[in-house]
Amino acid sequence: MNLGIAGRKAIVCASSRGLGKACAKALAQAGCEVVINGRDARQLQATAEEISGQTGARVIPVVADVATAEGQKALLSACPAPDILVNNNAGPPMRDFRALTRAQMIDGVIANMIAAIELIQQVIDPMVARRFGRIVNITSGSVKMPLAGLDLSSGARAGLTAFLAGVARSVAAANVTINNILPGAFDTDRLRGVLRRTAEQKGVSVEEAAKARIATIPAGRFGQPDEFGAACAFLCSAQAGYITGQNLLIDGGVFNGAF
Ligand SMILES: NC(=O)c1ccc[n+]([C@@H]2O[C@H](COP(=O)([O-])OP(=O)(O)OC[C@H]3O[C@@H](n4cnc5c(N)ncnc54)[C@H](OP(=O)(O)O)[C@@H]3O)[C@@H](O)[C@H]2O)c1
């Protein structure tokens, strides 16, 4: 399927590894010029070379912390007028909500809510003026199915979702869309870290921890990042202009509800 976005410019935040990388790769495959981002310069450079080698696309690496004003400035200097923005960042670590300090809560809200809104503030009016814009936020299945210990992550991401629900409607007539993708369990470094910690806590092997987690997923497996990237690229496609303000849960059937 031709997604109709060849030549479009995209910024994909937090994309040197994992789901962000998969989104960047899928957009590069669709012919976009892609700014990718991470804090580890060596990893980011390797990913830029990998994606450009696989797709032939122009891939611009920007080493930056997306949660900071300087980081956002660096991203927008590399791509001042993006047609596509994919918001992503690491999530706060698992922690009992009683143990969270005020500073940690504020940092979590900045990382998983405010940073995305700040970037959107900076790119949306030019998108409206050009009559094309696609914004996708990587949130989490925990927005629909909160998990004790990930309360800050669930809360900040739910805040982002609600905040943008009105914004999405306000720009829809200009062919600018804002959607969220909610990952379930995808096979990334982050998931492998979670499985390692679960294995330690339960005194089992990582393979056993993975098997137990997979047993809770109707699809019987973890999601592959490329499957996530393909969904993101579709939401960024020319054809997806009528899809806005939506939450696409990709979790192999874990959320047990008809709607
Ligand atoms: N994978 C899952 O199963 C799953 C499930 C639910 C929700 N999620 C959420 O989806 C998002 C992506 O997860 P993932 O599994 O792809 O994670 P991952 O494999 O750990 O990759 C995270 C990426 O983000 C970059 N990054 C982290 N902090 C950054 C910052 N402050 N500024 C710029 N780049 C940053 C990392 O590079 P550097 O470390 O070099 O900066 C890396 O490229 C996270 O918010 C996660 O909580 C994932």
Please give the number of the atom of ligand 1 that sits closest to the Cα of 47.
43
pTM: 0.98
Predicted local confidence at residue 93, as pLDDT: 87
For residues 131 and 230, membership in a common domain is answered with: yes
Answer yes or no: is 1 within a domain. no
Q: Is the residue at 69 inside a domain? A: yes
Neighbours of 189 (CB within 10 A): 9
Ligand 1 mean position, distance from CA 129 (Å): 31
Per the structure, the complete domain to which residue 42 belongs is given by 9-186+224-250
Per-residue model confidence (pLDDT) at position 239: 98
pLDDT tens per residue across span 90-137: 998 889 999 999 999 999 999 999 999 999 999 999 999 999 999 999
Average pLDDT over the chain, rounded to whole?
Answer: 97
How far apart are the C-alpha atoms of 162 and 166, rounded to whole Å? 7
Q: Are residues 154 and 193 in the same domain?
A: no
Q: What is the pLDDT of residue 100?
A: 97
Beta bridge partners of 250: 183
- 170 and 201 together in one domain: no
Q: Are residues 53 and 161 in the same domain?
A: yes
**Strand, helix or coil for residue 197:** helix
Cβ contact 84:93 at 8 Å: no
What is the pLDDT, as a whole number, of residue 257? 92
Residue nearest to atom 44 of ligand 1 (CA): 90
Closest atom of ligand 1 to 153 CA is: 47
Domain annotation covers residue 59: yes
Q: Give CA–CA dist 185/214, Å, rounded.
A: 9
**Under a CB-based contact definition with an 8 Å cutoff, are residues 155 and 91 in contact?**
no
209 and 236 in a single domain? The answer is: no
Query: Edge to edge, what strands does the sheet with 33-38 contain?
Result: 59-63, 33-38, 9-12, 84-87, 133-138, 176-183, 247-250
Distance in Å, CA 18 to ligand 1 centroid: 6
Which protein residue has the closest C-alpha to ligand 1 atom 35?
A: 14
Tell me the best of 144, 188, 228 to mutate to test the pocket of ligand 1, counting ligand atoms within 8 Å of each CB and taking the most.
Answer: 188
Tell which phi-psi region holds residue 59, choosing left (phi > 0), alpha (psi between -120 and 50) or beta. beta
CB under 6 Å to ligand 1: residues? 14-20, 37-40, 43, 65-67, 88-91, 138, 140-141, 183, 185-186, 188-191
Has residue 243 got a pLDDT over 90?
yes
pLDDT tens per residue across span 174-190: 999 999 999 999 999 99
Number of domains in the chain: 2
130 and 213 co-located in one domain? no
Same domain for 159 and 211: no
Q: In this structure, which residue's CA is closest to atom 47 in ligand 1?
A: 91
Mean pLDDT, range 221-233, rounded to an integer: 98
